[in-house]
Structures are given as structure tokens and as C-alpha cells.
């Protein structure tokens, strides 16, 4: 039986969800989980934590003794250095692209130190054996930017939003207020302020603007809140505290229109949940997410077109398109599909 080592960085709701997914659907004896960082109580006790320099040798031994190494997000500086120094491990390594780890190439702060680090990353990524991504366009960017010949595998994480929990909500009890969500985090790449300015001409309508800002850049979050309150007053509602998944699901269910103005693939979990709920979603039409969703047959709208729309056009979406989106999500992103794709990777 092949032994599979999973390496994760820090604590994350996505990591926790994936660990539960592994425990539920796969043989625990076959999978070993290592987290680079300290145990803050987010994980179970059957996980190995690497947070001291002397433990690096323990990690190297685990990697050497594994048949597959699955790297959940290439974020750890120390892991990148380790892989650079142990190139023989790369052919059996699978890099699960999260987004920011790929787009570091494009959006990093340029400096002598970051240039050296990017040189090391380039060597690692070029020689890695496998890349796992839901959006094939991200794999294509990795090939373009890093000249990698890695084998592509399609897979996605189990969604932190449980569609069934928010399905079939009775929206008829809502008043006529239209709720608009902007972004999914306090990451400046959400470009919140640009959208706040675009929507200002709709400000006289009965709207509420909801902006999730519970994690990310706190300085940016403060700037977004200041601008939102200045432009929209009581119609602006920032979500500054982290919400449990059940509460965040209720927020998504209340939304009428969502705008994700990211310059890169991001917020797919939010986008898929909203599309399943029949919400109108705007994203940029020049990022990999746009091509991915369109190839799946899903209907989304371009943020670049918002300036051309009346308020009625902005909020309207044909019911048949909503239902089509729902059916595609249920088919393409079900739990069964998630299990099937990861099983293909584990058994290949």
C-alpha cells in the first residue's frame, strides 16, 4: 500500500475540512499529515507539527519514506528551501495550487531578498512532478511562468460551505432591499474601493453593501471601512469578525449580487456557493476563473460591464440561468465528485 504524506502550512479552515474529508472517505493508515507551524487547537492530535529547526530532519525522513508527497499550498519558505536542497523528492511531489502561492510570481514585492527566493522557487516548481488544481488555467500559468513539465491533476477541496444547509431558503420574507457582497476577504487584491466607487451611482436605491473583512490585511480593511462608511453611511456593512460556516452561509443566502474584483483566481468557494444559490456573480473576465467557469457552462458576469448597466440590469438575472447554474454545481462539485478526483490522485 502506497504511503501518502500531506504537508500543510499553518491553520486554515480549508486544511481542517480536508483532514476531516480524508478521515471520512480514505484509509487513515495510508495517509500521514504534517503541519508546518504550531498547534493552536485547530487540529486533532493525530497530526505531526513541525515548528523547530531540529524537526526538519524528521520531515525529510517522512518525505523520503513516502510514496507521494502532497503539498497543500506552497507557502512555507522553509519547505521551499528543503525541496530545493532535496531535489530527488520533487518527482513524487504534488503541489496543490491555492492561488497566492502561484501568483506570488506576479504580485510579490520586488526586492533583492524576494528575487533570491523567487529564483529558488523557480527551480523547485520547474522540477516538481505533479500539479493539482481545480482551475486548469492556473496550471497553464505555472507552465508558462516556471517552465514546468509537471503532470496536471484536477481536484478541489471539499467546500467549507455546505450547499444543502442553505438550499431552498424562503427568500420571500426578505424586504425589497438588494444586498450586494463585495469580495471575500481583506486582501487588497479584492480591489474593494474600486467597486465601491463604481456602485456609488446606485447609492440612492434601497441597497446594503456587505463586505467580508474578517481575515487578511488589517490596514487595508480599515481603509475599506473608512471609504465604505464615507460613501454609503448606514448602507455599508463590514463583516470584521470571523463567522462560523453556518453563520456565513446565512450571509451568502441573503445576498442578491456578489462582486469579486480580484486580479487573480480567488474566492472560488464563495463563488460556487453563490452560484448554487442562484445569485448573480460578477468577476473579471481576464483571469483564469472566468475561463474555468465558462467552460463548465456556468453563467457569470464581467465587472468591466458594471459601468454600462442600469440598476435594474445590474440586479437582474433570468431564472432559467440561475437554475442552470445550480444544476451544474450539483453535478460538477458534489462530494462524490470530490472523492472521485482525489481517489484518482491517491491511486495513480
Same domain, 58 and 141: yes
Does the pLDDT value for residue 348 go beyond 90?
no
pLDDT at residue 315, as a whole number: 96
Whole-model pTM: value is 0.83
Same domain, 106 and 185: no
* Structural domains of the chain, count: 2
Contact residues for 97 (Cβ-Cβ < 8 A; gap 6+): 73, 74, 131, 132, 133, 135, 138, 139, 142
141: pLDDT confidence band, cut at 50, 70 and 90? very high
Same domain, 321 and 243: yes
Domain that holds residue 190: 163-332
- Rounded to an integer, the average pLDDT of 148-159 is 92
Give pLDDT tens digits for 3-30: 999 999 877 778 888 999 999 999 888 9
Give ∠ CA 143-146-150 in degrees, rounded to 5.
50
pLDDT at residue 173, as a whole number: 45
Same domain, 343 and 309: no
Same domain, 106 and 202: no
Same domain, 103 and 223: no
Same domain, 192 and 82: no
Same domain, 150 and 174: no
Same domain, 283 and 142: no
Phi, psi of 67 (to 5 degrees): -85, -30
pLDDT at residue 87, as a whole number: 94
User: Is 210:178 a contact under the CB 8 Å cutoff?
Assistant: no
Q: How far is CA 245 from CA 160, 162, 169, in A?
A: 7, 8, 16
Same domain, 59 and 149: yes
Instruction: Tell me which of 285 and 164 has the higher pLDDT.
Output: 285
Same domain, 179 and 324: yes
Mean pLDDT of all residues belonging to the chain:
90
Placement of cell 479584492 in the chain: 190
Does the pLDDT value for residue 56 go beyond 50?
yes
Lowest mean pLDDT among 160-164, 222-226, 309-313: 160-164
CA quadruple 146, 147, 151, 155: dihedral, nearest 10: 30
CATH number of the domain that residue 55 is part of: 3.40.50.2000
Give pLDDT tens digits for 113-124: 999 999 999 999
pLDDT at residue 108, as a whole number: 87
Lowest mean pLDDT among 18-27, 134-143, 169-178, 220-229: 169-178
166: pLDDT confidence band, cut at 50, 70 and 90? low
Same domain, 220 and 234: yes
Does the pLDDT value for residue 175 go beyond 80?
no
User: Is 275:281 a contact under the CB 8 Å cutoff?
Assistant: yes
- Rounded to an integer, the average pLDDT of 73-87 is 94
Give pLDDT tens digits for 198-247: 999 999 999 999 999 988 889 999 999 999 999 999 999 999 988 887 88
Does the pLDDT value for residue 137 go beyond 90?
yes
Amino acid at each position: 500500500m502506497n504511503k501518502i504524506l500531506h504537508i500543510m502550512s499553518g491553520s486554515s479552515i480549508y486544511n481542517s475540512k480536508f483532514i476531516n474529508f480524508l478521515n471520512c472517505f480514505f484509509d487513515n493508515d495510508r495517509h500521514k499529515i504534517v503541519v508546518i507551524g504550531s498547534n493552536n487547537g485547530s487540529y486533532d492530535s493525530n497530526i505531526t507539527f513541525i515548528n523547530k529547526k531540529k524537526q526538519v530532519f524528521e520531515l525529510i525522513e517522512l518525505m523520503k519514506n513516502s510514496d507521494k508527497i502532497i503539498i497543500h499550498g506552497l507557502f512555507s519558505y522553509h519547505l521551499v528551501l528543503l525541496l530545493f536542497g532535496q531535489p530527488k523528492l520533487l518527482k513524487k511531489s504534488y503541489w496543490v495550487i491555492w492561488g497566492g502561492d502561484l501568483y506570488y510570481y506576479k504580485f510579490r514585492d520586488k526586492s533583492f531578498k524576494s528575487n533570491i527566493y523567487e529564483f529558488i522557487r523557480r527551480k523547485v516548481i520547474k522540477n516538481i512532478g505533479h500539479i493539482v488544481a481545480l482551475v486548469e488555467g492556473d496550471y497553464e500559468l505555472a507552465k508558462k511562468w516556471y517552465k514546468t513539465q509537471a503532470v496536471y491533476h484536477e481536484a478541489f477541496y471539499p467546500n467549507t460551505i455546505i450547499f444543502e444547509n442553505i438550499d431552498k431558503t424562503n427568500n420571500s420574507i426578505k424586504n425589497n432591499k438588494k444586498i450586494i457582497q463585495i469580495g471575500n476577504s481583506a486582501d487588497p487584491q479584492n480591489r474593494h474601493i474600486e467597486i465601491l466607487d463604481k456602485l456609488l451611482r446606485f447609492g440612492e436605491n434601497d441597497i446594503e453593501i456587505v463586505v467580508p473583512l474578517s481575515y487578511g490585511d488589517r490596514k487595508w480593511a480599515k481603509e475599506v471601512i473608512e471609504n465604505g462608511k464615507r460613501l454609503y453611511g448606514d448602507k455599508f456593512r463590514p463583516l470584521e469578525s470571523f463567522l462560523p460556516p453556518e453563520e456565513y452561509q446565512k450571509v451568502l443566502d441573503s445576498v442578491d449580487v456578489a462582486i469579486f474584483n480580484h486580479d487573480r483566481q480567488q474566492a472560488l468557494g464563495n463563488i460556487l456557493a453563490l452560484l448554487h444559490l442562484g445569485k448573480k456573480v460578477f468577476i473579471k473576465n481576464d483571469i483564469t476563473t472566468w475561463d474555468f467557469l465558462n467552460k463548465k457552462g456556468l453563467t457569470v458576469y464581467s465587472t468591466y460591464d458594471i459601468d454600462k448597466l442600469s440598476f435594474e440590469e445590474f440586479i437582474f438575472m433570468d431564472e432559467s440561468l440561475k437554475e442552470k447554474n445550480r444544476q451544474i454545481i450539483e453535478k460538477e462539485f458534489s462530494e462524490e465528485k470530490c472523492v472521485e478526483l482525489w481517489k484518482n490522485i491517491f491511486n495513480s
